[in-house]
Homo-oligomer: A and B are copies of this chain.
Amino acid sequence: MSEFIKFKIKNNIATIKINRTKKKNALTLEMLERLSDIGESLKSEKNLLCVLIMGNDGIFCSGIDVTNFASLANNKTLLNSLMDPLEELPYNKMQKPCIVWQELAVPVIAILEGPVFGAGLQLALGADIRISAPTAKFSIMETKWGLIPDMGITQTLPKLMNYDQALLATLTSTLITAKKAYELGLITICTENPYQKGTELAEKFGSKSPDALRAAKTLYREAWKEANADNLQLEASLQTQLIGSSNQMEAVFANMEKRRPNFSKHSISDTKS
C-alpha cells in the first residue's frame, strides 16, 4: 500500500505524491489515513519550509476509490468509525486528510494537473495555494453518486468561491476547465508548468524569515476562518443519511448502467441536525 502515497522531505520541503496512476490516483481508505498521518507528523518538523502535494503522470486525483467504500452502506460500524468526529477534534477520519494541512504552520501547495475530482478536489482545497496546469479538469463530483461533498468543504470553499457558483457547480457536478476554475476562485495560479512554479515558490519562501512565513499563515488562517466549525459535523450527519439510502443506491446503479435514474420522493430530513 504505502507506495501509493510517496513522501519525502528534502531541503526542508515536504513532497507528498499520490502514486496510483493505474486507478487515476483514486484514494482508498488506507491512502486517506496515510495522508492524515503524514500531515500530523509534519506538525513537529521544526525546520519545515513548505509542503507540496501532487499527483503523478499527468493525474492529480480522480476522487475516492468507490469500490473501496462499497461495503460502507451495509456496515454501520465502519460508517460510524469514519463519520464520527475523532476524539476531541472537530473533524472525522474522512475530513482529516483534507483539513490537517490548515493546521500546519507552513504553507501547503497543491500542484494540479489532469482530473481533480471529488475527494481529490477537496484535498486540493485543503492546501493553502493551488497551482494548476491549463489542462487540469475540476469537478465537485459527489452529487453524481447521490452524495454531498463532506471532506471539509464547508471550511475551505467559502474562502474562495461565491455561494451561487459553488452551489451550481455542486448541484450539476459540472466539469470545470482550469481557465474557468481560475475565474471562479477555485485555483490560485494557472500556469503551463505547475511543478516548476511550485518549486520556484518553495525557493521564494526559503528566502523569507521562517518566523514571518509562519506568523503570516497563522494570522491569515484566523482572519479568513469560517465562523462555524460545527458545519464539519453537518457534512457528516447529512452524508450519513445519504449513504446507502434508496436514492443514493439508484444514483450509483443508474450511473453504472448508463441509464436515466428513477428516483423516489426525497426521504431524508431537511432540517439541520
- A residues sitting closer than 8 Å to B (CB atoms) are 46-47, 105, 107, 128-130, 142-144, 146-149, 153-154, 157-160, 162-168, 170-172, 185, 188-189, 201, 204-205, 207-220, 222-228, 231, 234-235, 238-239, 241-242, 245, 247-248, 250-251, 260-261, 263, 265-268, 270, 272
**Known contacts A146-B211, A223-B226; 7 further A-B pairs (Cβ under 8 A):** A142-B212, A143-B216, A166-B220, A207-B260, A209-B242, A210-B263, A212-B247
10 closest Cβ pairs, A-B complex: A210-B266, A146-B209, A154-B223, A159-B163, A163-B224, A209-B247, A105-B270, A164-B188, A215-B238, A143-B212
Q: Is the CB of B251 within 8 A of A208?
A: yes
Q: Is the CB of A222 within 8 A of B272?
A: yes
Q: Is the CB of B188 within 8 A of A168?
A: yes
Bound: A208/B147 CA distance, A: 10
Q: Which residue of chain B has the shortest Cβ distance to A103 in the bound complex?
A: B270
Interface SS of A by simple majority: helix
